[in-house]
Structure 1
Amino acid sequence: MDHQLLVFMKVVEKANFSHAAKELHMTQPAVSQSIQILEKKYDTQLLERNNKRVALTKAGEIVYYHGKEIVSLYNRMNELIYELLEKAEGQIAVGASYTFGEYVLPKILASLKKKYPLIKPKITIDNTAEICEMVANQQMDIGIVEGNVDRQKIIITETIAKDYMYIITGKNHPFTKKKEITVKDLANEMWIVREDGSGTREATEKLFKMLNFRPGQLMECGSTQIIKEAVEAGLGISLLSRWAIKKEEQLKSLCLLNVHGLPLERDFSIIIRNSKFQTKATQLFIETLRNDHNHINNNAHT
């Protein structure tokens, strides 16, 4: 690996020369010299410096962005070579969308730990669009998402399980006493929805299109937990995965509405970068997902 590149990336991540020097066990003048060598190599300034922080120039952004890919590829190469000689162990970077990551993935991780205790998953939870981007940019070894996946040319997808989504209300909402919920009822209600880029928001938009209405009132939230609490408080209604509301349903603090055409079905999918090389840890993680596939599906409706 290019030593100057590694020093540069550490300075960017710490946004401070002295902090980077301390973590790299180098003197601050040595760190400054490494950055100067790299800037001389490219004959351009990579960092804007002041007394407190450093910031990337446009050229610096390019070097840092591709540097992350280089480091990822270098680490992957070492893991693949090591695994030819030794048993699978070490880190695997796993990205998951909120619904799968918060309500399904913990069970998968418990199964993985029991079978392969030397594999150490590093988990990132974000919306579907961000996880797809991180997998495509090799910041993640594998992702599990719901909804449509872009960048099909560089990402392979595989459906792993079904998800079922219901319109939910708080236990004291007037809808819980109605025998029939009309489209007009739904259109006139406050809808509490996830942000754009979320698989749950994509499913909600699909529901609006399917039932041919557009709510007059939308409240956008970046967290499923906040949505559940808002619905419990009587602020409105929402469309969420059955996985996300199991506890609240058991406690009867949230109710499922009986609406024609529901539940809405969608897929949980594995996504990986289109490459013939995978670490053994990644292969074993995917194998664990596939083996637990039936368990996931059998519990999705109950």
Structure 2
Amino acid sequence: MDQLLLVFITVAEKKNFSRAAEELHMTQPAVSQYIQTLERTIGSRLLDRTNKYVRLNKAGEIVYHHAKEMVGLYTKMQNLVDDLTNKASGELAIGASYSFGEYVLPHIIAYLREHYPLIKPAITIGNTKEIERLVVNRQLDVGVVEGEFQHEKLTFEPFAEDEMYVVASIDHRLARKKVMKFSELEVETWIVREKGSGTREATEKMFQLFEETPVQLMEFGSTQIIKESVEAGLGVSLFSKWAIRKEVTAGSLSVLRMKGTPIKRKFSLVTTTDPFQPKAVEVFMSLLRKDFAEAVPEVKI
């Protein structure tokens, strides 16, 4: 059954029998035979076929979703058995939300590769909700997100603290003020991340903390675009210290100093509630728990 599912997943993702056959090092007739066998086993057609494309129908979408999870479980089972006698090795699918993934994770991966060269990390970056979904569906082995959340199928383990600062253009009217009140920013345009982002959650908690609700919000789905927008004078925003260290050092962004900041939050590991984890996952998690300070350079704002 695992080979049937693997062939089906490949056809669904490649949307073409020939490309799937090439990917699997099989003949096209063999691929077609596997699909027909799976459809007979399931008792339903799974793909809509024309001369131009192959795509999932409703039944195919259901099978694809569960097939991905089943193949992931099978692979994890094999890895766990292999781990009993071998050193930590093989592929490690890591997901991370944007602030951690873009500005902290590269240092972690460099440290991991130096000490565990047999582990081959593959990185996926998304907002917190996306990473949670991929871990639940077993498309990721482990995730790292900002903030603290709850999910019945996931385990969250805080391992490090993040500091967040309100940032403006260097030409902003308050950029050189030594100490200010948050209420002075109520009239400003706040540039924020999308719903589902850990940074958006932290921003909304900050508004609640200071009991201020900005009148104008602009929502962007990228930390880099928000930084560029703030630098251009479009508004102010809340950033992790990791995301702004280079710009603050270079003098292209200004941190607005006020009581109650920096805003603090946790970086958390995200895994399924399975009692067993592959050795590569255990190594990665142990690294973050014990060697985070050694692997990642100190940042002061």
Answer yes or no: is 1:118 the counterpart of 2:118.
yes
1:211 alignment counterpart = 210
1:105 alignment counterpart = 105
Q: Is the 8 A contact 1:161 1:297 kept in 2?
A: no
| Alpha carbons of structure 1 residues 293 and 179: separation in structure 2 relative to 1, 3 Å | closer
1:29 alignment counterpart = 29
Deviation at 1:301, TM superposition (A): 3.8
1:185 alignment counterpart = 184
Answer yes or no: is 1:84 the counterpart of 2:75.
no
Query: TM-score with structure 2 length normalisation?
Result: 0.94
The AA in structure 2 aligned to 1:23 is: E
SS at match of 1:85: coil
The AA in structure 1 aligned to 2:266 is: D
Q: Is the 8 A contact 2:148 2:156 kept in 1?
A: no
Q: Is the 8 A contact 1:143 1:271 kept in 2?
A: yes
Distance 1:81 1:179 in 2: 59
**Offset from partner CA, 1:41-71 (integer Å, 9 cap, x none):** 2221211122222221121111111111111
The AA in structure 2 aligned to 1:185 is: E
Deviates more, 1:85-94 or 1:193-202: 85-94
Distance 1:179 1:103 in 2: 28
Q: Is the 8 A contact 1:11 1:20 kept in 2?
A: yes
Q: Is the 8 A contact 1:164 1:300 kept in 2?
A: no
Q: Which runs of 5+ in 1 are unaligned?
A: none
Distance 2:120 2:203 in 1: 35
Where do 1:178-257 residues align within 5 Å? Answer: 178=177, 181-257=180-256
Q: Is the 8 A contact 2:46 2:56 kept in 1?
A: yes
The AA in structure 2 aligned to 1:240 is: F
Where do 1:148-187 residues align within 5 Å? Answer: 148-151=148-151, 153-178=152-177, 181-187=180-186
The AA in structure 1 aligned to 2:194 is: E
Deviates more, 1:174-183 or 1:86-95: 174-183
Answer yes or no: is 1:288 the counterpart of 2:287.
yes
Q: Is the 8 A contact 1:168 1:257 kept in 2?
A: yes
Q: Is the 8 A contact 2:97 2:144 kept in 1?
A: yes
Query: What percent identity do the matched residue pairs reach?
Result: 53
Q: Is the 8 A contact 1:142 1:282 kept in 2?
A: yes
SS at match of 2:123: strand
Q: Which runs of 5+ in 2 are unaligned?
A: none
| Alpha carbons of structure 1 residues 97 and 196: separation in structure 2 relative to 1, 3 Å | same
Answer yes or no: is 1:53 the counterpart of 2:60.
no
2:94 alignment counterpart = 94
SS at match of 2:259: coil
2:146 alignment counterpart = 146
Deviates more, 1:209-218 or 1:161-170: 209-218
**Offset from partner CA, 1:139-170 (integer Å, 9 cap, x none):** 1111111113231x221221111011110001
Q: Is the 8 A contact 1:169 1:238 kept in 2?
A: yes
Q: Is the 8 A contact 1:170 1:253 kept in 2?
A: yes
| Alpha carbons of structure 1 residues 42 and 126: separation in structure 2 relative to 1, 3 Å | same
The AA in structure 2 aligned to 1:37 is: T
| Alpha carbons of structure 1 residues 6 and 192: separation in structure 2 relative to 1, 3 Å | same
SS at match of 1:188: coil
Deviation at 1:32, TM superposition (A): 2.1
Deviation at 1:298, TM superposition (A): 8.3
Distance 1:149 1:256 in 2: 28
2:6 alignment counterpart = 6
Backbone CA RMSD of aligned residues = 1.8
Deviation at 1:267, TM superposition (A): 0.3
Distance 1:27 1:188 in 2: 65
Distance 2:295 2:212 in 1: 32
SS at match of 1:45: coil
1:17 alignment counterpart = 17
SS at match of 1:214: coil
SS at match of 2:174: helix
